[in-house]
Amino acid sequence: MNERVLICGGRRWDQAIIPIGRGFLKLGCAVRYLPTRRAETHCDPLDKVHDVFARIMREFHPTVLFWTMCKQDCPVGLIPYLREINPELRAVFHSFDDPHQIAAGPPECIPDFDAAITCCEGSVKWYEDQGVKAKCFWPPPCVDLHGHAVANPGERCDLSFVGTNVYPADRFPDCLAPRSDILRKIADLGKLHIYGPWGERRLDWGGEYGVPELKSCWRGFRRYEELPGVYAASRINLSSHVCPQGYQYLNERTVNCMGSGGFVLVDRVNGIEEIFKPGVHLDTWATLDELRTKASYWLKHEDKRQAVAAAGRQLTLRRFSNVEHAGAVLNLCGVKR
């Protein structure tokens, strides 16, 4: 394949950017990466950002630009400027945060893009209303990293939750339950592991809305490449979403956990049963009482739980891997493979 893909966004080549890039490489594309957020800022663009991009456009001659987790690091007018340098360029906006980002205030640069990849099927029409072709595709598990994951013996537990924000009810009213309440509801069912920051921010596990009484369950922060072994080691992986009302909205944790062979017990996202069948590929809950009932059930039925995890992994890697993600992006750009 002759496609040359420029992946940009974030501050460095790590976390979810790596599987995205590896997906394009697996399809035979040439790939370069350009960080776009200025150091010590949330998402401010690079200094002299037009000059930085112009140089790489002339050196690398990308045919596809894929801007991961694009926010204010892409200034309005940059993409049209790059098209003046390379009229063949197809630019793809990417978001992990829909539908929350759309409701909270989307980046003004979106109409400059040719296409968009969103993590929420219900958000596709919004992009199309901006004149941007769109497709739903969730944060992809990597066929190498997640697809080959095995349980880390030191992380074995009955239940676990990996998270950076506990989503307190007064700040995130769309959640089915705050994550702190989720943990409190199931903490006595077995050995619990909690992963993520503790006491660094108001909204983390050890913050103002966290679970200080469960500090003994906290295992610290794990790097992206370590998490597949964590997911595979937990008998039940808990997950929840900031906007479960979003139609077929799934976050990175849910899909990557399944791709790693972990069993997922997740809040009942609108339309999730059309993607994964509860009791076959994962399981879902709508209330905290249902969460506790189902967690107790799956802990008592080891063979059934393992079969569900295996089926979920097979489906996820077959349909939603980083290779399939790269193919979907190229198809959206009109590239024939």
Judge contact between 31 and 21, C-beta under 8 A.
yes
Considering only CA atoms, which of 298, 253, 282, 261 is closest in space to residue 96?
A: 253
DSSP assignment string, 140-197: PPPTTTTTT----GGG-EEEEEE-S----TTT-TTSSS-HHHHHHHHGGGS-EEEES-
Q: What are the helix and strand counts (H, E) for the chain?
A: 11, 12
Judge contact between 330 and 113, C-beta under 8 A.
no
User: What single-letter DSSP state applies at residue 262?
Assistant: -
What domains does the chain contain, in order, with CATH numbers? 4-140+321-332 (3.40.50.2000), 153-319 (3.40.50.2000)
> What pLDDT, in 10s, does the model give residues 54-104?
999 999 999 999 999 999 999 999 999 999 999 999 999 999 999 999 998
Which residues, including other chains, have CB under 8 Å from residue 219's CB and lie 6 or more apart?
A: 155, 193, 194, 195
- The average confidence (pLDDT) of the chain is 96
Task: Find the angle CA(90)-CA(6)-CA(16) to the nearest 5 degrees.
Answer: 110
> What pLDDT, in 10s, does the model give residues 98-151?
999 999 899 999 999 999 999 999 999 999 999 999 999 999 999 999 999 999
> What pLDDT, in 10s, does the model give residues 26-58?
999 999 999 999 988 888 999 999 999 999 999
Give the pLDDT confidence score for residue 261 in this predicted structure.
98
Instruction: Give the Cα separation of 79 and 75 in Å (integer).
Output: 8
Cα distances from 7 to residues 255, 294, 296, in angstroms, run: 21, 41, 43
> What pLDDT, in 10s, does the model give residues 305-316?
999 999 999 999
